[in-house]
Amino acid sequence: MATSNYLNSLDDGMARAALTNCCAAMRWVEHMLGARPFESDDAVHRAADEAFNTLSEADWLEAFAGHPLIGDVESLREKYAATKRLAAGEQSGVTGADGNTLTELAALNHNYLNRFGFIFIVFATGKTAAEMLAILRSRINNSREAELRIAASEQQKITHGRLEKLASRTIR
């Protein structure tokens, strides 16, 4: 089933839940709900981008808060039960990483959070733990303004990926 058909077939409550699993920013979700019915999958992605263009810093922070720290198994279990399968799949590159890489990734993730006030966001699909660590190292010294912009761009990639997965029913 196409993503557009799937989203159009849901009642408002179910559509809200599906969209929230794609992006936790409520302003984004409300925009997407208001854009239904979608004429095509391209229309879904256009509406997503239009919604992203309306988000404030607070909205982006709300979206970021919907993610666990990369590689943080405990936060996947406890805080993010609704999206743990999805986030685990996106972060599958962490599986099998050596202990030193995981230790440094965890430490830098916490340093990043303390420095910027939000978690490190990266489109992790297809990336190894070492690649994510290299990206984190390259971004840790950015200004907060630059990092917010980069994180927002990564959030958009994650959301578009999740929207595509709605069609295959791998998230709900």
Could you report the per-residue pLDDT of 97-154, keeping only the tens digit for each?
677 888 888 899 999 999 999 999 999 888 888 899 999 999 999 999 999 999 999 9
Give me the pLDDT at residue 121, please.
96
pLDDT above 70 for 170: no
Whether residue 50 is contained in a domain is answered as yes
What residues make up the domain containing 146? Answer: 68-167
The answer on 96 and 52 residing in a single domain is: no
What is the C-alpha end-to-end distance of the chain, expressed in Å?
14
Over the stretch 79-100, which tens digit does the pLDDT of each residue have?
A: 334 444 554 445 444 555 677 8
Would 172 be classed as within a structural domain? no
- How many folded domains does the chain comprise? 2
Tell me the catalytic residues. 67
10 or 88, which is more confident?
A: 10
The model's pTM: 0.84
Domain termination site, one of 29, 45, 62: 62
Token code pair at residue 139: 């971004």
- Check whether residue 85 and residue 151 sit in a common domain: yes
Coil, strand or helix at 24? coil
Write the Ramachandran bin of 95: left for phi over 0, alpha for psi from -120 to 50, otherwise beta: beta
Q: Check residue 106 and give its pLDDT.
A: 86
Q: Is 145 found in the same domain as 81?
A: yes
Same domain, 154 and 86: yes
- The CATH number for 115's domain is 1.10.3330.10
| 10 part of a folded domain | yes
Domain end residue (candidates: 24, 45, 62): 62
- Percent of the chain surpassing pLDDT 90: 67
163 and 111, same structural domain? yes
Q: What's the helix, strand, coil split of the chain in %, to 5? A: 70, 0, 30
